Amino acid sequence: MISAQEEDEEDDENIPISSDWSGSSATMYTRGDQIFTISLGLVKPLFFADQEKGYLDSNMRLGGMGALGYSYFLSPRLFIGGELNGMFASTIGENMYFIVPIGFRIGYQFVFRRFEFPLALMVGFAPQSHHNRSYFGFFAKPTASAFFRLNSDWSFGLNSSFWWAPQWTGKERDLHSGNVNIHGFFLEFSLSARYHF
């Protein structure tokens, strides 16, 4: 019995060890994973573009913003979802400008260890108001982000976004040809917390 035991131990040492996980890499995300995001930050009004007059100063000060987002992963990298934003900024005339973009979001995320780098595009609509005027129209926002995955539930990071808020009024311009169409451009820097479930 003793010699048999020794032979078994020697045989076990010579048995090659193989793993079912060889040749595959674990992914942090799978289809069906979801993320809820809350963001707070600043928005810098860059400029407005007018077809007749070219680039115009925004005459607006630095503004604040907040956002709520939802993402659903179709694959370990590709996700879709929705986003609701809110932004305010004062003008040099001490009036307030408000914009509330809401829309569909699609993105692709790169992962390196515990760091995640999502690239996303939001497309939707945004009600806007300034003084006693209002407008409802198209809105688009490409975003690049960097996150650190703290644990299985939470990640925290930074976002940089470029806002495009055109106003296609269709109204005729006085003393000029063409319509009064203005394109507003803004730059966002924000902090985000993401809850993974």
- Using one digit for the tens of pLDDT, what is the confidence trace for 32-67? 999 999 999 999 988 777 766 666 677 788 999 999
Q: What is the pLDDT of residues 128-162, one digit of tens each?
A: 988 788 889 899 999 999 999 999 899 999 999 99
Question: Is residue 22 included in any domain, yes or no?
Answer: no
1 vs 49, which has greater pLDDT? 49
3-state secondary structure of 14: helix
Residue 161 sits in a domain whose CATH number is 2.40.160.20
Question: Is residue 21 included in any domain, yes or no?
Answer: no
Q: What is the pLDDT of residues 73-111, one digit of tens each?
A: 999 999 999 999 999 998 887 789 999 999 999 999 999
Question: Is residue 20 included in any domain, yes or no?
Answer: no
Question: Is residue 146 included in any domain, yes or no?
Answer: yes
Characterize 83-92 residue by residue with b for buried, 16 or more Cβ atoms within 10 angstroms of its Cβ, and e for exposed.
bebebebeee
Q: Which domain holds residue 187?
A: 31-196
Question: Is residue 5 included in any domain, yes or no?
Answer: no
Torsion of CA 154, 108, 125, 54, to 10 degrees: 120
Question: Is residue 2 included in any domain, yes or no?
Answer: no
Question: Is residue 159 included in any domain, yes or no?
Answer: yes
pTM, rounded to two decimals: 0.75
Nearest to 150 by CA among 116, 108, 120: 116
3-state secondary structure of 148: strand
Please count the structural domains in the chain. 1
Residues 6+ apart with CB under 8 A from 116: 28, 109, 110, 146, 147, 148, 149, 155, 157
Question: Is residue 12 included in any domain, yes or no?
Answer: no
